[in-house]
Chain A
Amino acid sequence: MEQKRRIRYIISFLILILGIGLFFVLNICIGSVKISLSDVLSSFTGKEVGETVRSIIMNIRFPRTAAVFILGGALALSGYLLQTFFHNPIAGPFVLGISSGAKMCVALLMVFLLGHSVKMNSASLILAAFFGSMISMGFVLLMTRKIHSMSMLVVCGVMIGYICSAITEIIITFASDADIVNLHNWSRGSFSGMTWDQVKVMAVVVAAAFVVVFLLSKQLDAYNLGDSYAKNMGVNVSFLRIMIVILSGVLSACIVAFAGPISFVGVAAPHLIKKMFGTVKPILMIPACFLGGSLFCLFCDLLARNLFAPSELNISTVTAIFGAPVVIVILQSGKREKKR
């Protein structure tokens, strides 16, 4: 049994890693300009390639793909943390309105800074997004004091999301014309236009958050059993809760600051990973969810860029098509369990 499980974990990890490798390459090769695999390899090894091709790879596709990899993983990890926190499989940064809260604050900051013609930097965007996600999270937490049903929690989260989106729309309406194009694209979620500087910042933030989450894996394992059992095992439950809220906030803030709100990955990826591995052990789930989210987003971004080329779809459009059905499946299986 144990042997069998170990083999299943190893195979699952292999599938994830190979899948990511495959889609990473596909994302770099496929696009409005087709690039052959040999060109990609030679531009990495520093051999002679055409300047345009090299520029497309090194300045556009590669940073974008790296960003999709990092943020996709962050998204799934953030969703996993929220699901653990609420003991609720359909919790996630988008579903609970946390992304929208972050979006609202980032939009406010953008309009304000652009109005004063100050250049935005990554740190201020992340801070604004973190602030916004904490506001939404605060509202969600206030409501969970009165609401315990899993679907009601989500309904409340969606409402918070709508309120924040409405405020964002108002802000955008009052923004000067030149800003709107920029804001509009971002507020629907997109990975386009990532620069290496942005990738560096998000890599540092997400890596730091990932390490902290991983260090908490034993405590999360105990927390999964329920509050009183976690307490009995010596876990400081209130401290752990605060840590989960902050970490999931940092992760969603990072995503929103760079790519805007992206729907459903945070719910779908952890669920699929759970089914794939057949376990909820955090020590496996944390790295696996990260990889799963990355793979999911690499796949979706490839479609978003190429399905109706030359025009590009919003990333959320694609993630919703693949992610929302997963949520429906979870809701149905949740009902079945309650009846039993």
Chain B
Amino acid sequence: MSGYYFKADGLSVGYNGMPVVSKLDFGIEKGKILSLIGPNGAGKSTVLKSIARQLSVVAGCVYLDDANLLEMSAKEVSTKMAVLLTERLRGEMMTCGDVVGTGRYPYTGYFGVLGEEDKRAVKNAMELVKVADLMDRDFSEISDGQRQRVMLARAIAQDPEIIILDEPTSFLDIRHKLEFLSVVEKMKEEKNVTVIMSMHELDLAGKISDRILCLKGEYADRFGTPEEVMEKEYIRELFGIDEEMKAFAEQKGIKII
């Protein structure tokens, strides 16, 4: 398993020591995109939260650049890893610029005042994600699509090596989905950032990802390139699509992948 930048080794994750998903082995090279797919409740968020050290791991190890992620100091992790979770960021009375500025937190001094370099990083991140015009807008007054992009800018401002995204595109319309993913792609290309994310849109996941991990309750099912994983028969099985649903989908011409 060498060559992986991020590596999970016999990872079991869950709540209060009870595993939800057990014995995960997967990894991803630097500057590549790994997507987690699977039915609702299969443990995608649990895996991501554990990797992001929001949840304590039940068993196993996670490595970042061959160093044990679970033993790193919180500060060290904060400069290497950014997250965009489904938990809403409470941006009370904050402008979008303020929100992106919070990404600079690990780099600011004891009182967290933004310096010139931090302000430049905020500006660059917002320009990269094309939200520079939202700089002075109130964070609570922008649309969902704009909010996700501002949050992505915040993650970029954190200057991470790896970004964890939990269902980043779920509530966006198709235009904003494409816009969001194009920025993720750009980040990967320009900054060599590694991305691990969960997705429900199989077609998009198949196109943008370099690796896909399929979660199916309790254990990981398949792990490989999109070509290896995205077989019609297999996806139907993964999501538990029975004959009746399949017939319905075919009758209406609905493409599952």
Residue of A215, A228, A231, A283 near B113 (CB, 8 A) is A283
> Are B111 and A217 touching (Cβ within 8 A)?
yes
Contact call B89/A229, Cβ cutoff below 8 A: yes
Shortest distance in angstroms between B61's beta carbon and chain A's nearest beta carbon?
20
B78 and A234 contacting across the interface, CB-CB below 8 Å:
yes
CA–CA, A236 to B77, complex, Å?
A: 12
Interface pair B53/A231, CB less than 8 Å apart: yes
Q: Is the CB of A234 within 8 A of B106?
A: yes
CB-based contact A225/B78 at 8 Å: no
Counting residue pairs across A and B whose Cβ atoms lie within 8 Å, the total is: 73
B54–A278 touching, CB < 8 Å = no
Check A225–B89 contact: CB distance below 8 A.
yes
Q: Does A121 contact B (CB under 8 A)?
A: no
Please name all residues of chain A whose beta carbon is closer than 8 Å to the beta carbon of B83 when the two chains form the complex: 228-229, 232
Nearest neighbor of A220 in chain B, beta-carbon distance: B112
Q: Which of A229, A274, A280 has the most CB of B within 10 A?
A: A229
Task: Please report the C-alpha to C-alpha distance between residue A167 and residue B94 in the assembled complex, in whole angstroms.
Answer: 44
Query: CB-CB contacts of A224-264 with B at 8 A, as 1s and 0s?
Result: 11111101111110000000000000000000000000000
Q: Does B175 contact A (CB under 8 A)?
A: no
* A280 to B98 Cα, complex, angstroms: 11
Kindly state whether residue A222 has any CB partner on chain B within 8 Å.
Answer: yes
Q: Which residues of B contact A235 (CB under 8 A)?
A: 74
Given contacts A226-B89, A226-B90, is CB(A218)–CB(B112) below 8 Å?
yes
Q: Enumerate chain B residues within 8 angstroms of A231, measured Cβ to Cβ.
A: 52-54, 74
Chain A residue contacts of B88, Cβ below 8 A: 226
Complex Cα spacing A226 to B81, Å: 17
Instruction: Tell whether A218 pairs with B85 under 8 Å between CB atoms, given A87-B90, A225-B90, A278-B93.
Output: no
- Judge whether B173 is part of the interface by a CB distance below 8 angstroms: no
User: In the complex the two chains form, is B87's CB within 8 Å of A234's CB?
Assistant: no
Kindly state whether residue A221 has any CB partner on chain B within 8 Å: yes
Chain B interface SS verdict (over half): loop
Say yes or no for A142: interface residue by CB 8 A criterion.
Answer: no
Residue of B nearest to A283 (CB): B111
State A233–B76 Cα separation when bound (angstroms). 10
Contact A221 B78 (CB under 8 A): no
Q: Is B248 an interface residue (CB 8 A)?
A: no
What is the bound-complex CA distance between A1 and B136, given in angstroms?
A: 7
Which residues of A have CB within 8 Å of B135? 1
- Is residue A59 contacting chain B, with contact meaning CB distance below 8 A? no
Does the CB pair A280–B94 fall under 8 Å? yes
- Asked if A279 is at the interface (CB within 8 A of a chain B CB), the reply is yes
Give every chain A residue within 8 A of B52 (Cβ-Cβ). Answer: 228, 231-232
B105 contact from A222, A274, A280, Cβ within 8 A: A222
Q: Are B87 and A283 in contact (CB under 8 A)?
A: no
| Neighbouring B residues of A236 by C-beta, 8 Å | 74
Q: Which residues of A contact B49 (CB under 8 A)?
A: 228
Residue of A221, A228, A283 with most partner-chain B CB within 10 A: A228
A274 to B92, CA, bound (A): 10
Q: Is the CB of B93 within 8 A of A234?
A: no
CA distance A238 to B213 in the complex (A): 32
B contact residues around A274 at 8 Å (CB): 93
A-chain residues with CB within 8 Å of residue B94 when the two chains form the complex: 279-280
Which A residue's beta carbon lies closest to that of B113? A283
| CA A283 to CA B114, docked complex, whole Å | 12
A:161-192 near B, CB below 8 Å: none
B82 within 8 A of A: yes
Docked complex: B80-137 residues within 8 A CB-CB of A:
81-83, 85, 87-95, 102, 105-106, 108, 110-113, 135-136
Partner of B102, one of A87, A221, A227: A221
Whole-angstrom distance between the Cβ of B76 and the nearest chain A Cβ: 8
- Are B93 and A279 touching (Cβ within 8 A)? yes
Tell me the complex Cα distance, A229–B49, Å.
Answer: 11
A232 touches B81 (CB 8 A): yes
Q: Complex formed: what's the CA distance from A181 to B84 in Å?
A: 59
Q: How far is the CB of B104 from chain A (nearest CB, A)?
A: 10
A89 to chain B, nearest CB (A): 9
A224 B85 Cβ-Cβ under 8 A: no
Q: Once bound together, how far apart are the Cα atoms of A283 and B74, in whole Å?
A: 22
Interface set of A (CB-CB < 8 Å, partner B): 1, 87, 215, 217-218, 221-222, 224-229, 231-236, 274, 278-280, 283
Q: List 6 A-B contacts (CB under 8 A).
A: A1-B135, A218-B111, A218-B112, A222-B102, A224-B92, A234-B78
Given contacts A87-B90, A218-B111, A232-B77, 11 further A-B contacts (CB under 8 A): A1-B95, A1-B135, A215-B110, A218-B108, A227-B87, A231-B52, A232-B54, A232-B81, A232-B83, A234-B75, A274-B93
